[in-house]
A and B are shown apart, each in its own frame.
Chain A
Amino acid sequence: MASRNEMKVFLAFAQYHAFTHARCAGLDQEQALSLASQAMQQFARQHAHALPSEFPLFFFRILQTAIRHHRRLTRWHQWLPSMLAALIPPRTENTELGPLETIVVVPRAATEAMETWSAQPEITYIAHAALCILPPLQREAFLFIAWEHLDFATAAKVMACSKRRVRLNVNRAYKTLAAIFAQKGLASAESSTDSTLLPIAAYFESILSHENHDSDAPVFDQLAQASAAALSEHQRRVAIPDSRSEQWASFRVHHTLLLRRIGMGVLTLAVLVLALYGNTLSPTADTSADDIQVLASVVPLDTLLKDNFKELLHD
């Protein structure tokens, strides 16, 4: 079980990371703040008895679920307007270039330090914009591996998918980011074909560090308040013995794929059984095979309906 200090240190780390993850997922500042606060609260409530080594796994899983839930809701709320918009053809085509196309960046001089160079607002903007245009799975995989330094197994548990899928998404994200960076002159064109693409990770390492975000300063106060609230929640929960729901939450995170496969297997089996033996399982069994024999027999119906039929058989 983690001490108060361990939890405090982790929450101090987690608060900004949660906020940045949410911002990269396309949430506005207020939404990202709310989501990060809720994630910290939920983490403190659900995993109060977790080991410090498991903190990143549980916390990022909660954050990940919350972001996905938010994305699903947003997609649903945007569905109807977008359907209506699709019915009405646009009058004029939008030919304006987006900021990603128009921003020009001065390449880094050989003598310039990475930290000072990457602190330029243009570069920060491009890095964030490039992250935002990535497909959600690629962005998540990239952030967990390149920024959070989670191993593939942990990232797979956080993202509730296989390690192979995480690796695939990370590679794709690297390639897309490298292509964007090469186009903007931030990286050499050769790096886009390099499979390791370490420079990209280095850019983000430096760019995503919160010292570069002075404009977000008021947010940190609110995040710190949320973190303090989560810490007090943790202290309250620690006093209560480890509950079954907490054990179940932990088990679910560790064995998501197994549980999902079992669920899908049971469901598929149920569908197959229903398809193959549906008639037999129905409350009124199908007696039509017997009925046709009764009707086709030479014995008249009246005789078959007699109560003393058994006696008639043995006369």
Chain B
Amino acid sequence: MTRAAGARTLLTMCALLATVGVVRASPISPTWDQLDAHQQTVLWSLSDEWNRYAPSNKHKILNIVQYYDKLSPEQQFRVQTKLKAWAGLSQEQRDLARANWKKLQALPAAKRKAALSRLTENQAVDTP
């Protein structure tokens, strides 16, 4: 490889690395004010406690925001109501919730429907 070709390859790799860096780079622990308008709108229920969250927790919650717009208004509402409780869960609790939700999804359609109605009935009984 000639020196010029080597330099070209190096430059390309630097450009690639820089792009990767720019794409992947984000503040280690963004404060509420550092969030953009869209993020603040989605996460408004967390505005009071946001700055107290651990950086890893912040990033996990921020990752959710990208999917928010694809949801229906009803789903968005449900997300908004659960978000605060979700943010307060430990990693183990989140893993448990995720695993249980997957078990529900794994059921055949008819059984899933029955289970869903049972689980939401329980909720209606539980909530005064």
Contact = CB atoms under 8 A, between A and B. Distances in A.
Partners in one complex: yes
Interface of A: 137, 161-162, 164-165, 257, 260-261, 264, 267-268, 271-272, 274-275, 278, 284, 286-307, 309-310, 312-315
Nearest to A165: B2
Interface of B: 1-3, 6, 9, 12-13, 16-17, 19-20, 23-24, 56, 60, 63-64, 66-68, 71, 75-76, 78-79, 82-83, 85-86, 89, 93-94, 96-98, 100-104, 107, 111, 115-116, 118-120, 122-123, 126
Given A275-B23, A294-B86, A294-B101, 12 more contacts: A161-B1, A161-B2, A164-B2, A268-B12, A287-B60, A292-B67, A292-B68, A292-B71, A297-B101, A298-B120, A305-B97, A314-B115
B115 A296 contact: no
B6 A312 contact: no
Nearest to B60: A288
Given A162-B1, A264-B9, A296-B78, A288 B66 contact: yes
Given A271-B17, A271-B20, A304-B96, A295 B86 contact: yes
B13 A267 contact: yes
B98 A290 contact: yes
6 contacts: A271-B17, A288-B63, A288-B67, A292-B67, A301-B97, A304-B100
Contact of A315 (B82, B86, B89, B118): B118
- Chain B interface helix/strand/loop/mixed: helix
A299 B101 contact: yes
A271 B3 CA distance: 21
Given A295-B83, A299-B116, A310 B103 contact: yes
Interface centre among B2, B86, B98, B118 (most CB of A within 10 A): B2
Contact of A268 (B9, B98, B115): B9
Given A161-B3, A275-B19, A315-B118, A301 B9 contact: no
A289 B13 contact: no
Contacts of B12: 268
Contacts of B118: 312, 315
Nearest to A164: B2
B66 A275 contact: no
Contact of B78 (A297, A303, A306, A310): A297
A274 B20 CA distance: 8
A165 B16 CA distance: 27
Given A271-B13, A289-B67, A264 B6 contact: yes
B79 A272 contact: no
Contacts of B120: 298-300
A308 to B, nearest CB: 10
Contacts of B101: 290, 293-294, 297, 299, 304
